[in-house]
Amino acid sequence: MGKLRDRGFLAGLSVALFGVCASVFASDAPESARPAWCPSAAAERGQTNDIQYRKIAEKLQQRQPIRLVAIGSSSTEGSDLADRQQAYPVQMERRLNALFGAGTFVVMNKGRGGEAMPETIARFGSDVEQQHPDLVIWQLGVNDVVRQQDIAISARNVDAGLRKLDLIGAPVILMDMQLAPKVLQSTALQPMRALLADAVTRRDAMLWSRFDLMRGIVDKGDASMAELIKADELHMTVPMHACTGMVLAEVIAARLPLRAGHDVAVSRDVTSR
């Protein structure tokens, strides 16, 4: 019996270690191929707090790892994907580490599929504050828009969420809705876009518009809606996850000095194509 218990323990330990190693190796995996239609820069709105970004720059100079929390719904978690390692936070982490050096950035994926703003805000204590992030990306508004949430309620939720994030003291990037048929059909879409644009002008946050990124791709004829959005008319395709992560990584990188000794000419290209 003792030998059997030992073998069971060792087998369980092997499985656990394999899981840890797989997670580490996935983080250090090479970047995905950039979709041909994915631009190298995209629209952004709002103010950024230079002092807060300067703190990140100082950590970079001291070669300390930078911790990012990406929180939101299925667009963040990748709950609709066959492989969640293809979700945009993983793609963003790989792009940032390609720019700044392996292991420089650690992105914690705190997405949870199906959530509207109140459910996500309720997790800010455990999933954001307790992670001690240097930067927070809050992907928000999609499910609220699809469910036709009253805009006055959404306004209160955005303000409540930003107040909580203010107390954490890390820079905040808001990521808006995706360009998808189910989003476009909602009468709550345009009020939500106006609400988010207004919110970041009143707080130390930046709005990075995924909606504008995708609309630019489609309007230019670089890709069809079917290449960006899955057949469910809501969730992003794997290539669009890759594009989202890469472009957002480059928006962040544009605010930071490259780590000393890294080849700027080779590793950094954040200009529009």
69 in the same domain as 3: no
**pLDDT above 50: residue 131:** yes
State the angle between helix axes of 2-27 and 88-100 in degrees (0 to 180), rounded to the nearest 10. Answer: 70
Q: Tell me what pLDDT residue 32 has.
A: 82
**pLDDT above 90: residue 191:** yes
Q: What is the mean pLDDT of residues 217-225?
A: 96
pLDDT band of residue 265 (cuts 50, 70, 90) is: very low
Share of the chain above pLDDT 70, in %: 79
Longest CA–CA span in the chain (Å) reads: 69
Q: What is the mean pLDDT of residues 247-258?
A: 89
145 in the same domain as 235: yes
As a whole number of angstroms, the distance between CA 272 and CA 70 comes to: 25
45 in the same domain as 6: no
Within a domain: 59: yes
Tell me the two tokens of residue 1.
């019996």
145 in the same domain as 243: yes
Rg (CA), the chain: 19
Looking from the CA of 2 toward its CB, the CA atoms found within 13 Å total 0
pLDDT band of residue 273 (cuts 50, 70, 90) is: very low
133 in the same domain as 107: yes
**Strand-strand pairing, 205-208 and 44-46:** antiparallel
Q: Tell me what pLDDT residue 204 has.
A: 77
pLDDT band of residue 48 (cuts 50, 70, 90) is: low
pLDDT, tens digit, for every residue of 91-128? 999 999 999 999 999 999 999 999 999 999 999 999 99
177 in the same domain as 95: yes
14 in the same domain as 83: no
Q: Tell me what pLDDT residue 7 has.
A: 44
Within a domain: 158: yes
DSSP helix/strand/coil, 82: coil
Within a domain: 271: no
Within a domain: 114: yes
As a whole number of angstroms, the distance between CA 37 and CA 270 comes to: 15
Closest CA to 243 of 265, 218, 207: 218
74 in the same domain as 12: no
Tell me the two tokens of residue 113.
């599929």
Q: What is the mean pLDDT of residues 193-217?
A: 93
Within a domain: 264: no
Q: What is the mean pLDDT of residues 190-206?
A: 93
The amino acid occupying position 167 is L
106 in the same domain as 20: no
**pLDDT above 80: residue 85:** yes
Q: What is the CATH number of the domain that holds 69?
A: 3.40.50.1110
Within a domain: 249: yes
179 in the same domain as 136: yes
- What's the total number of domains in the chain? 2
181 in the same domain as 78: yes
As a whole number of angstroms, the distance between CA 34 and CA 16 comes to: 33
111 in the same domain as 174: yes
Within a domain: 155: yes
Domain range enclosing 25? 1-30
Q: Tell me what pLDDT residue 203 has.
A: 84
Within a domain: 272: no
Q: In what order do the strands lie in the sheet with 66-72?
A: 44-46, 205-208, 172-175, 135-139, 66-72, 105-111
The amino acid occupying position 229 is I
Q: Tell me what pLDDT residue 259 has.
A: 54
Q: Tell me what pLDDT residue 272 has.
A: 36
